[in-house]
Amino acid sequence: MLRRTIFIFFLPIVLFIGCSNEVVHTKKEKVGLLLEDSIYDQGWNSKGYQGLLNIHTNLDVEVYSKEEVNTEEKIKSTIEEFYLNDVSIIFGHGQMYAHYFSEMADEYPDIHFISFNGHVKGNNVTSLHFDGYAMGYFAGSLSAIMSQNNKIAVIAAFPWQPEIEGFIEGAKFENEDINVKVEYVNSWTDEELALSYYQSLKNDEVDVFYPIGDGFHISVLEEIKNDGLYIIGYVSDFSDLGEATVLTSTIQHVDELYEIVTRKYLDGELDTGNLYFDFQDSVISLGKFGSQVSEGIVEYMEDAVIHYIENGEMQEERYQDSNLP
């Protein structure tokens, strides 16, 4: 697919105040976005692009976007391109940008660099981290409750994802005898390998899956739907893609976080360094529950999320001890 650079231009606004002859020019801030892959992935990259559109609409800023910026050469050339267009904020929509932003920040002191889920350093660099542990915990909890075969699985992109540990611990809390399997694709986008893992896990009688790679979860979902098994959606709400298949989704409201962070920047309140966001910040949530999830289980899961938000810890009562239907 050809890389696309998307520009939205505005004319300077001229204000005339009272009867004064003074002319005031207001200058719009310019925001740039680097994406590793296509904005049409129905997941992580599309949500990043939607976040950029949100801040363009709601914060009245000028925006630039370029897809498939996934090598050092492309990153450096795009940053220089944005710099020449007077961009003052650059979002790198992924962990890979954290290293390059930290290295290059001193060369562009007038730009604030923002990446996701990678550790950064520098006076003008910020990294936004979704705390994936709780997402995984609730996914594991529901998977253990819903599994008929007592076998559930995570198909992960990388071993460092905190959702993995959360999934295992959430599942084991509900059922200490549950069989939890984990496979690592070591890529966000390798659909072929992810599907190979799925087939192997299906043959091993796993009946609930949590694929946590934004580039392969749609393909895995389609296979799971065809096989009549269950899935927990990832990043976006996938209930519309398989209402009888998708138990729920662990949603990252990336688009909303873009607006929150850009507002802070415009107000001079954006901190540098590594910032962490969770359910308490209203940028992570569970999605719509599938029809196969009973009202009692829905109530239990919703109560568990509320308890976590209010107390910062997981509740101590298991579903089987809750007396809910």
Q: What's this model's pTM, rounded to 2 decimal places?
A: 0.85
- The per-residue pLDDT for 26 is 52
Name the domain boundary from 236, 252, 268. Answer: 252
Same domain, 39 and 92: yes
For residue 273, is it within any domain? Answer: yes
Same domain, 157 and 271: no
Output the domain CATH number for residue 162. Answer: 3.40.50.2300
Most confident of the ranges 12-16, 42-46, 113-117: 113-117
Residue 150 carries which DSSP code? Answer: S
Q: What's the pLDDT tens digit per position in 194-247?
A: 999 999 999 999 999 999 998 899 999 999 999 999 999 999 999 988 889 999
For residue 299, is it within any domain? Answer: no
Same domain, 261 and 160: no
- Starting at the edge strand that comes first in sequence, how are the strands of the sheet with 246-252 ordered? 179-184, 151-156, 208-212, 230-235, 246-252, 284-286
Same domain, 80 and 24: yes
Residues 6+ apart with CB under 8 A from 109: 123, 124
Domain that holds residue 31: 5-130+254-281
Same domain, 31 and 118: yes
Q: What's the pLDDT tens digit per position in 68-88?
A: 999 999 999 999 999 999 999
β-sheet bridge partners, residue 126: 114, 273
For residue 237, is it within any domain? Answer: yes
For residue 187, is it within any domain? Answer: yes
Strands 179-184 and 151-156, how do they pair?
parallel
For residue 289, is it within any domain? Answer: no
pLDDT at 325 over 50: yes
Weakest mean pLDDT among 136-145, 151-160, 240-249 = 240-249
